[in-house]
């Protein structure tokens, strides 16, 4: 069992038997403190018990506003789609927008993140030229710049090696080539690789990882997503354990401050699609096209926003929508 306190960011594991005993002790904190004072004190220090006057929801709300909503980092997410890919005109408009963003005195750092359809195919002619221009602008403004690229490896690409894109070249092959190229030549980029399936055969697993190259393995931010077709929990755990053990050797620690996994609405975050539509977060796949929250002006790079909708989204913190669930969670751990 994993115990995790999201306020203190403290965690530890225990056996199921220990967990069951602790659950009984948690039901009566007073007796717990009297019978096991040192253990109770440790749980208190870890934040699993709080004083009666502490309002955990208010603390979460404050931290969320401080660290997410009003974070001074500007997060620019550019999403490539199959029906309308990045164009040179789009890149030019985004460059103008970055220049506009640099005029804000509150921004301390900019992260440009690239997501979506065959995004690695656009690296040489779209991603890198824009990043170079942004680097020059940020250097003049004295603002730090980071790049982040999302790569998703599907079940077919990993196991069958028969997935082709429109040019007739195996996507798995070009993907691995691009990853090796970027990690070798451009250390300023952070690569997020989503893995939804890994070959079950140990030899095939090792061959899969070798295709990335040793340097790439050290610098990739791995996001492990168990595949729905995995037959058993034991098989799933064995694959996850293999990945963990294989990757921890000589692994370069990823600075969490330089990654942006949470795509909730933020004051200093925009998601722009090739049609210049702007969103507060990446829309989920759905039958209906979601309503945009603004439009990027091609002439000057300024975003024409739907301000009422933007203010509404910023004021609705994600955990406030599931308040009852959060309170139950807090009562269990705090």
The answer on pLDDT for 172 being more than 60 is yes
Regarding predicted confidence, which is higher, 38 or 50?
A: 38
Task: Kindly state the average pLDDT of the residues 166-185.
Answer: 70
pLDDT digits (tens, 9 = 90+) for 195-243: 766 666 777 777 777 777 777 777 777 776 655 555 555 555 555 566 6
pLDDT at res. 31: 92
pLDDT digits (tens, 9 = 90+) for 110-126: 989 888 877 888 888 88
Helix (H, G, I), strand (E, B) or coil at 294: strand
Q: What is the mean pLDDT of the chain?
A: 77
pLDDT at res. 252: 53
Which domains, from first to last, does the chain contain? 2-64+316-333 (no CATH), 68-312 (3.80.30)
The pLDDT-based confidence of 162 (bands split at 50, 70, 90) is: very low
Task: Kindly state the average pLDDT of the residues 257-279.
Answer: 78
**What share of the chain in percent tops pLDDT 90?**
19
pLDDT at res. 90: 92
301: nearest Cα among 322, 278, 321: 278
pLDDT at res. 56: 78
pLDDT digits (tens, 9 = 90+) for 43-98: 888 888 877 787 877 888 888 888 888 888 898 999 888 788 888 899 999 999 99
DSSP 127: I
pLDDT at res. 169: 47
The answer on pLDDT for 139 being more than 50 is yes
Regarding predicted confidence, which is higher, 204 or 18?
A: 18
Regarding predicted confidence, which is higher, 13 or 196?
A: 13
The pLDDT-based confidence of 324 (bands split at 50, 70, 90) is: very low
The answer on pLDDT for 153 being more than 60 is yes
């Amino acid at each position: 069992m994993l115990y995790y306190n999201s306020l203190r960011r403290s965690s530890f594991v225990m056996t199921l038997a220990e967990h069951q005993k602790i659950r009984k002790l948690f039901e009566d904190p007073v007796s717990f403190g009297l019978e096991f004072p040192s253990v109770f004190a440790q749980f208190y220090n870890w934040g699993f018990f709080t004083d009666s006057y502490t309002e955990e929801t208010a603390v979460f709300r404050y931290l969320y506003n401080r660290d997410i909503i009003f974070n001074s980092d500007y997060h620019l997410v550019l999403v490539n789609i199959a029906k309308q890919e990045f164009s040179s005109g789009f890149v030019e408009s985004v460059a103008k927008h970055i220049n506009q963003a640099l005029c804000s005195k509150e921004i301390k750092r900019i992260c440009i993140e690239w997501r979506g359809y065959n995004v690695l195919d656009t690296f040489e002619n779209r991603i890198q030229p824009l990043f170079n221009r942004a680097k020059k602008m940020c250097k003049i403004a004295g603002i730090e710049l980071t790049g982040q690229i999302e790569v998703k490896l599907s079940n077919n690409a990993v196991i069958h090696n028969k997935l082709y894109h429109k040019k007739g070249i195996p996507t798995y092959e070009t993907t691995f080539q691009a990853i090796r190229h970027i990690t070798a030549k451009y250390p300023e980029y952070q690569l997020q690789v989503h893995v939804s399936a890994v070959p079950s055969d140990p030899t095939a697993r090792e061959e899969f990882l070798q295709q990335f190259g040793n340097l790439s393995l050290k610098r990739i931010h791995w996001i492990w997503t168990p595949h729905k077709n995995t037959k058993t929990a034991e098989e799933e755990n064995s694959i996850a354990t293999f990945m963990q053990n294989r990757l921890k050797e000589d692994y370069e620690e990823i600075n969490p401050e330089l990654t942006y996994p949470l795509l909730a609405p933020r004051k200093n975050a925009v998601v722009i699609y090739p049609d210049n539509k702007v969103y507060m977060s990446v829309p989920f796949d759905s039958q209906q096209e979601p309503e945009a929250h603004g439009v990027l002006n091609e002439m000057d790079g300024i975003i024409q926003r739907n301000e009422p909708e933007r203010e509404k989204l910023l004021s609705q913190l994600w955990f406030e929508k599931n308040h009852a669930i959060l309170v139950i969670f807090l009562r269990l751990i705090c």
